[in-house]
Chains A and B, each alone.
Chain A
Amino acid sequence: MAYKFQNISVLVIESSRALFTVAKDVLTTFGIKEIHSAYDIKKGFEIFRREKPDLIMTDWLGDKNDGLTFIKQLRTDNRSPDPFVPVILMTGFTHEDKVIAARDVGISELLVKPYTALSLYNKIESLIENPRAFVRTRNFLGPDRRHKRIASFSGPEKRVMEPLPVRR
């Protein structure tokens, strides 16, 4: 038995057409048949609303951080058809402040460019097999950002101290 990738649809938002072509070739080889494309966030959000893809892969999209704006929009905009859609952010940035900025708008996975077919597959597999619970606060909706416990934290909102209500 193997993944039935032919059943899932993906929206790829890439500012570079060349990189979109590469991503499409890799996804097609994986067996994904329904691949939508957009080159900016306006078109991306339009396609997201119309096609309701099962997975979104987006680029950082320019020095105005449009990719992050897009992710924030799909998580919080009341026109978003699925605020819980898994999102892979593809970027060449790996510096801590950029990763934190991406995490704080609600990415599901970060795929570092240049990537390989295996690294892309691993991200998709992780979203299938180990989807993270979402956290909703006054200012945030996105996958749980706690990957590790910060022992030095002692504020009143340290969530490990009080169990959270779980909604299904």
Chain B
Amino acid sequence: MTEPQRSNRAELISPQKKLKEKAGSGGLDRKIIAKAQTQLESNTIDFKPIGLHLIRVIDEAIRDIKSGKLQGKPAITRLLYPAMELKAQGTMFHYPLVTDISNTLINFLETVTEANDDVIDLVVGFKMAGQAILSKSLTGDGGAVGKELRTALTDAYTRFHKDKK
């Protein structure tokens, strides 16, 4: 016997406009936004230890995957989170190259369902590239080395998908 279906009708609620009431109107002077951007860009936070810590988190996940402790979707999730943090923080702390390569890794990981040997090889490649960028303090776009790293990783992900076809 099936249970009778309960109604799932939606109720639309207009909440109090508290923010509007407090902030008022008129927006913010563009000069203030530009000043905030300058402030953001001139932060002196040393990203190297933060980034290297996140790389270590990826390394630990790789070890757990290789030992069979971590499999399937949870394995991908463990790899995705530190990669996302590297992507999120790289540019904000003067390492846009870290953001770029992490973004490429995230896009790749979002397309796979299991962390098999081929996937892990690519993640190891990413890890080594990330380590190199941070250890050599390759801030900015990393120049010629950065370009080379970006191309090598993108090509590796493309090859992976081609081989799977």
Residues of A within 8 A of B (CB): 1-5, 7-8, 16, 18-19, 21-22, 25-26, 29-31, 54-55, 60, 62-63, 84, 86, 90-93, 95, 97, 113-118, 121, 125, 127-129, 131, 133-139, 144, 157, 159, 164-168
- B80-88, B132-140, B147-155: which lies at the A interface? B80-88
Chain A residues whose C-beta falls within 8 Å of the C-beta of B120 in the assembled complex: none
Chain B residues whose C-beta falls within 8 Å of the C-beta of A125 in the assembled complex: 27-28
Report how far A2 CA is from B28 CA in the complex, Å. Answer: 6
Asked if B165 is an interface residue, CB under 8 A from chain A, the answer is no
With A3-B27, A18-B93, A29-B35 as given contacts, are A55 and B11 in contact (CB-CB < 8 Å)? no
Q: Which 5 A-B pairs have the closest CB atoms?
A: A113-B88, A92-B88, A117-B36, A84-B15, A1-B26
Report how far A26 CA is from B43 CA in the complex, Å. Answer: 11
Q: How many residues of chain B have a CB within 8 Å of chain A?
A: 53
With A19-B89, A164-B12 as given contacts, are A54 and B32 in contact (CB-CB < 8 Å)? no
Q: Are A26 and B40 in contact (CB under 8 A)?
A: yes
Chain B residues whose C-beta falls within 8 Å of the C-beta of A92 in the assembled complex: 84-85, 87-88, 102-103, 106
- Counting residue pairs across A and B whose Cβ atoms lie within 8 Å, the total is 166
Q: Are B29 and A2 in contact (CB under 8 A)?
A: yes
**Given A114-B99, A135-B10, 19 more contacts at CB 8 Å?**
A3-B26, A4-B22, A8-B19, A8-B23, A54-B18, A62-B81, A84-B15, A86-B19, A92-B84, A92-B88, A95-B110, A117-B37, A118-B37, A128-B19, A133-B12, A136-B13, A166-B12, A167-B11, A167-B12
Q: Are B92 and A22 in contact (CB under 8 A)?
A: yes
Report how far A144 CA is from B9 CA in the complex, Å. Answer: 14
Q: Which of these, A25, A30, A137, contacts B43 with CB under 8 Å?
A: A25
Asked if B2 is an interface residue, CB under 8 A from chain A, the answer is no
Q: Are A29 and B22 in contact (CB under 8 A)?
A: no
Q: In this complex, what residue of A is CB-closest to B77?
A: A63
Q: Are B20 and A16 in contact (CB under 8 A)?
A: no
Q: State the Cβ distance, B58 to closest chain A Cβ, in Å.
A: 12
Q: Are B14 and A166 in contact (CB under 8 A)?
A: yes
Q: In this complex, what residue of A is CB-closest to B43?
A: A22
Report how far A92 CA is from B16 CA in the complex, Å. Answer: 30
Asked if B6 is an interface residue, CB under 8 A from chain A, the answer is yes
Q: Are A133 and B10 in contact (CB under 8 A)?
A: no
Asked if B33 is an interface residue, CB under 8 A from chain A, the answer is yes
